[in-house]
Chain A
Amino acid sequence: MSKRTLFLIFALFLITFVLLIMAFYQPQAAPKVTRIIPTPVSVAQTVLSFGNPTIATTSSITTLNYSLPVNIDTATNRVTSVQLELQYDPAVLTNVKVSVSPLITKPDILLNQIDPVTGRITYAFGVGLTGKSITGKQTVAYITFSAKAKTLEKTAIIFLPKSLVAAENVSQSVLKRTTDGLFTVGEVSSTGSALSQ
C-alpha cells in the first residue's frame, strides 16, 4: 500500500471523525443552579375544598336539588378523621344534608349537627378502627341541598376556623388550608346549566 493511499485513508478518517462530531454534537447550556432558601415542611399538609355542584334531581317545578362534593388533598398526611364546620345561607339553601363518600367504608359518624336557622353545619366522621386512612386527592363527603328555582342566586358555603382534620402520628390538626365554595344556584338555563363556581 503506497504512502499516498495511507495518507488518503488517514485524511478521510480524520475528516469523517470531525464530521461525525459536528453532526452529532449538540452543545447544551450548563444547568443553572439557583440557590433558593429551603423552607421547613409543616406537618399540616391537608387542604379541604369544594368541587363543582351538580343538579341531583328536580323534585318539583320550583325546587332544584344539588350535590356538592367536599374534596380533600392530604399531601403527606394520612387522615383518620375530618370535622367539617361550615356556614351556608339558610335563606338560599334548604334541606341541607351531609353524607360521607362511599369510598370511605364503615365510617364512624362522630357529629352530625345542621342548624337550618343559622346555617351552621357541624359534621365529623372517622375512618373507623381498622379503616384505611385517607390519602391523596379524593372526595370525602357530599353536601346535598335544595334551592328555590325562581331566579339565579349567588351564594357561598364556607369553612369555619373550627374545621379539623386528624391524621396518624400527629396530635394536632393537619388542616393547612380551606377553599370556600362560591357558586350560583337557581333556575335552569336553556342549556341546562345553572351552576358556576
Chain B
Amino acid sequence: MNFLQKARGFVFSPSHKRTMSVLLMLVLVSAVTLTVTLSQQKQTIKQHAAQADCLALGGKGCYSNYNDYSWMEQLPGSTNTCGGGEECLVVSACINVGGKNTNNSHCPIGTIRDKNGERAGDISLCCVSGTIPADIPECGTGRAGCNYMNIKDGCSSTACLSSAGTFAGSDLASNGDKLVCCPFSQCRDGYKGSCTGYNTDYCPNGSHPALNSAGINDRADCSSGPNSENGQQCCVPDNSAPSPVTTTCSSLCSGYGRHFCASSNASYGNYSECNNGSCNYSFYKPSGNGDCSGSTPDCWCDQSVSAPACEKGTNCTSSGYTAPTVTSCSSDATCDTCLKDTNNCVWDGSCIKTPTVDPEKCPAGGTGTWNYLSCDTNVCTSTNTCGQIGSNNGYCELKSSSGDYTCDNSNYSYSSLYTCSSGNICCVPKTITYTQLSVDVVQGSTTPTAGTNQTYTATIHDDSAYISTINCLLYDLAVDGTGQELPMTILAGTTALDRTASYTFSSITAGSHPLYAVCTDSNPLTPATGERGPTLLVTVSSGGTNPVTKFDCKNTTGYTCLSSSSCDTGYTPYSPTSGTTCDAGQICCQKNIAAGDTVIQLPTNAFTTLFTYSASSELLMSKDQNITVYLYPSTFDLSTDPKGNSPTYKQIGVLSASTVTTTNFDLGPVTAGQYKVLLKAPQYLRVLEGTYTVPQGGGIIPLTLNKNLVNGVGDTDNSNTLDSLDYGTILGCTGKRPNTVCTNKAGADLNGDGVVDQIDLSIFLRSLSFTNRSGD
C-alpha cells in the first residue's frame, strides 16, 4: 500500500526529485542502448579482421560455426577430427581433417570426402607446397603424384599432376579427369570405366571384369579375349583373373537387362546398334530373342544413353499423347507427331510447335478468348479468340526462410499442383480457384415408371475458367451401393464455366436408384477428378420390365438395321428373342454368306465351352458376350501384337448366352493359306484355338474349341496380360476403399453381374493361378 501511494505521488506530484529521476532513467536507457550498439560494431570489426587473416592464409572465408563446413566427414579409422569451432574454413579444415597447408600439416590419406563421396574443390587447396613424391609409375613420365585422395575420379590413394612440383587445384581443372588416373585396382565402383589414361590394358592384366555404373560389362578391348564367342563382345577374364562374374557369353546375354551383346567395337554409351534413334528412355531392345544369337544383337540401353530429343519428357506414356516418330526436332515441321495433347499444347520443350486453333473448341465465328498452354512453360502465353486465362500465369519464387508457403505477391498463393526447382514454390493467382470442378445435384424425375426411358442431367461448374475436355459418369447405386458407372454426354453450356451432362436410361428398372455424378477434367490446372455431386434418390415404381440384353445389330459386323419391312438382296432378316438395338420401325438384317467368303463357325455349345471353368463345371458368365475372331498367318509372332491391332483378318460377333445356336463369323474373301485362329472377349486373355487352313475359294471352317476363355479372365485393360494394374483396377472399383474412384468398372466387373465386389477379386486371383498370365 505504501508503494502504491509513493507511485501515485510520483506521477501526480511534480517535484525536482521526480525530474531528476526521469532524467536518470533516460540516461541509463541511453547508456545501455549505446553500449549495445558499440559492442556490435566492435564485433563486426573483429570479424572483418579475422576474415582478412583467413584470406591471407589461403582460406576461403570465415564461418561462424562448425556447421558451415559440416559437409566434411571422416572416414573410419581416422583419428583426426573435423572442425571444432574454428572460424577459417580452409585453414582449419586442412589442419584438422587432411590436406597439406601452409602449416605443413598433412591431411591423413583417405580421411576426407564430402557428403556425396566426391572430392570437394576447396580441399584441393589444402594440398600445396612441400614434399611431393617424384614420378610415380601410375602417372607416367613427367607427371608427379600427390598423396591426395582423389575420390572424384575414383582413385583411392594416388592422383597425378601434370608436372612435378606444387599441387594446385588448377591442375585438376586444366588437365581434366583423364590426367588424373590411377591403378585400375584402386578405382572405386562405378568409375572403373573412366580412368582411360591408365587402364588401357584391362584384359592383358587379367583384371577383374568390371561393371560400369549401369551394371554393364563395357570393356572395349576384350573382343578378342580368351572367352569371346561368335565375335561378340563378351569380356570375361582369363583363368588368372580372380572371381569371374560369368563364364560364358551365352549366359551373359540370356539374362535380360544386365548384359549387352554387340557385334563389335561397341563401347558403353555408344552402342551404335542399339542407339539408332529410337532407344527408349530406360531400356531398348531393337529385335532378337534375347540370347544374342543370329545376326541381330540384343541390346539393352541404360538411362545414361542419350534418348532422342523428342522423348526426353515423360509424357509419351501419358494418355492423350502420341509417341514421337522423329529423332530430332530441328524444325517444327518434323515434330507434328510429338507429344501433342488435346489442347494442341506440346509439353515437351524439345518439340515446340505453334499451336493452332482447335475448331472443336473454338468454332469459326465464335467469340471470347481462346488460350493455350505453351509447351515448355506450362503457362498460358498466347491469346486468341475464345477463352479466359490470359495473364493468369503462375510463377516460382524462393521459399521464405521461415519455410512457410506464402507468396510474396499477395494476389498469388502457393499451389502444390506444380513443382519448381529445389527451394522454390509455385505461386498461382488467387483469382483462379483450381480445385473447383463441381457437379450440381442430378436433375430428373424422382418417381418414374419402370421400363420407361428416363433422362437425368447434371450441371458442371469448372471454375478454373480454362477451356478443357470434361468427362462425367453417372453413378447408379441401385444394386448394392458400389455403383454402376454410366457415361454421361456432355452438352454445351451457356458459358465455358457452366456445362451440363446427361444420361438416359433406355428402360429404367424398378426399385431405388440413388444417382450422383462425378466428372474428370483434362485441364492440367485442376485436379483430375472433381468432387462427387449430391445424390438424387430416384424411386422407380414397378409395372415395367427389366431390360434384357439386346442383340447389337447396329454395331455387329455382318448385320445392319434397315428402315423397311424387308432386307436388301444378300441379307436375311434376323430376329432374336432378346430383340435388337434397331430403332422403332427398323428391322435387323444379317448379311448372307457370299460365294468365296470364309466363315469361321463356332459350335452350338460355344458359349458354355468358352465360359465354363473346366475344373469345376462352373459357368462364369450368364449374359451375351462380344467375341472377336482374329486370323494371323501361321508364321506370325503373336507377341508382337498383343492388342490385336494388325491381324490379317478380324471379325466381331455376339455369342448368345440364352440361345444355343451356331455362330458364324463371316470374314469375307480370305486369301488361301494357313492361319492362326484366335478368340478374344473383353476382359479375357486372347486364346489361340489352333492353326487352320483356308482353301482356295473360302468356305466354312468349323472351329474346334480347344481352349476356353474363362481361365484367363481379369484383363481389365485388354493388354492381353494379367498384372498388377488389373488387380489395382478391380480393387479400386469394389467400393471398399475410402476416397477411391473406380476408373474402369466395365473392365473390373469380371462376372458381368453389374457389381464389382469380392467375387470379382476372387475370380481374378483364381485366374492367376490357372493361367500363364499372358494370352495366346
Whether the pair B37, A23 counts as a contact (CB closer than 8 A) is yes
Instruction: Give Cα distance in the complex from A120 to B29, angstroms.
Output: 80
Q: Across chains A and B, which 10 residue pairs bring their CB atoms closest together, nearest first? A: A166-B728, A38-B418, A83-B724, A36-B396, A19-B33, A156-B215, A81-B724, A12-B26, A171-B743, A151-B243
A160 beta carbon closer than 8 Å to chain B: yes
Residues of A within 8 A of B210 (CB): 154
Give 1 or 0 for each of B410-449: 1 = CB within 8 Å of chain A CB.
0000000111110010100000000000000000000000
Contact of A9 among B26, B208, B314 (CB under 8 A): B26
Assess the B256–A80 pair: CB atoms within 8 A.
no
With A31-B400, A118-B254, A118-B255 in contact, do A80 and B732 touch (Cβ < 8 Å)? yes
Report the stretch among B136-144, B244-252, B353-361, B491-499 that lies at the interface.
Answer: B244-252
> Chain B residues with Cβ under 8 A from A126's Cβ?
724, 727-728, 731
The answer on a CB contact under 8 Å between A38 and B724 is no
How many chain A residues have a CB neighbour from B under 8 Å? 73
* Chain B residues close to A by CB (< 8 Å): 14, 19, 22-23, 26-27, 29-30, 33-34, 36-37, 40, 189-190, 208, 210-211, 213-215, 242-243, 245-247, 251, 254-258, 280, 282-283, 314-315, 317-319, 347, 376-379, 394-398, 400, 408, 417-421, 424, 426, 524, 528-529, 717, 723-725, 727-729, 731-732, 734, 736-737, 739-741, 743-744, 758, 761, 765, 768, 773
CA distance A108 to B724 in the complex (A): 11
CB pair B773 A160 closer than 8 Å: no
Are B731 and A81 in touch, CB under 8 angstroms? yes
Q: A35-B396, A36-B395, A180-B215 provided; 14 other pairs, C-beta below 8 A?
A: A16-B26, A16-B30, A33-B397, A38-B394, A40-B347, A91-B251, A110-B727, A124-B723, A165-B724, A172-B317, A172-B319, A172-B725, A173-B724, A182-B215
**In the assembled complex, A60 has its CB within 8 A of some CB on chain B:** no
Chain A, residues 75-115, CB within 8 Å of chain B (1/0): the string is 00000111100011111100000000000000010110000
A129 and B736 form a contact (CB under 8 A): yes
Closest chain-B Cβ to A76's Cβ sits at a distance in Å of 9
The answer to whether A154 touches B314, judged by C-beta atoms less than 8 angstroms apart, is no
Q: How far is the CA of A20 from the CA of B247 in the complex (A)?
A: 81
Given contacts A34-B424, A168-B739, contact A43 B528 (CB under 8 A): yes
Residue of B nearest to A86 (CB): B257
Q: B215, A164: Cβ atoms under 8 Å?
A: no
- In A22-44, the 8 Å CB interface with B consists of 22-23, 31-44
Within 8 A of B (CB), among A112-155: 118-120, 124, 126-127, 129-130, 133, 151-155
In the complex, the answer to whether A81 meets B255 with C-beta atoms within 8 Å is: no
Asked if B37 contacts A87 (CB within 8 A), the reply is no
A151 near B242: Cβ-Cβ < 8 Å: yes
Chain A residues with CB under 8 Å of B242's CB are 151
- Please tell me if the beta carbons of A160 and B256 are within 8 angstroms of each other in the complex: yes
25 contacts between A and B (CB under 8 A): A12-B30, A16-B30, A19-B33, A33-B395, A34-B398, A36-B421, A42-B315, A80-B728, A80-B731, A90-B251, A90-B255, A129-B736, A151-B242, A153-B243, A154-B245, A155-B245, A164-B723, A168-B737, A168-B741, A169-B529, A169-B743, A172-B317, A180-B215, A184-B189, A196-B189
Provided the pairs A22-B37, A39-B418 are in contact, do residues A171 and B725 lie with their beta carbons within 8 angstroms? yes
Does A154 contact B396, Cβ atoms closer than 8 Å?
no
Distance between Cα atoms of A77 and B180 in the complex (Å): 44
| Residues of chain B with a CB closer than 8 A to A118's CB | 254-256
Q: How close is A11's CB to chain B, nearest CB, in angstroms?
A: 9
Q: Which chain A residues border B732 with CB–CB below 8 Å?
A: 80, 168-169
Bound CA span A78–B736, Å: 15
Residues of the B chain whose Cβ atoms lie less than 8 Å from the Cβ of A23: 33, 36-37, 40
CA distance A47 to B339 in the complex (A): 24
- Measured between beta carbons, the chain B residues less than 8 angstroms from A180 are 214-215
Contact A160 B257 (CB under 8 A): yes
CB proximity of A65 to chain B, nearest CB, Å: 19
Centre residue among B190, B213, B257, B421 by max chain A CB count within 10 A: B257
Q: Are B258 and A156 in contact (CB under 8 A)?
A: yes
Option from B19, B418, B744 in Cβ contact (under 8 Å) with A1: B19
Please give, as numbers and ranges, the residues of chain B lying within 8 Å of A124 by CB-CB distance: 723-724, 727
A23 to B741, CA, bound (A): 60
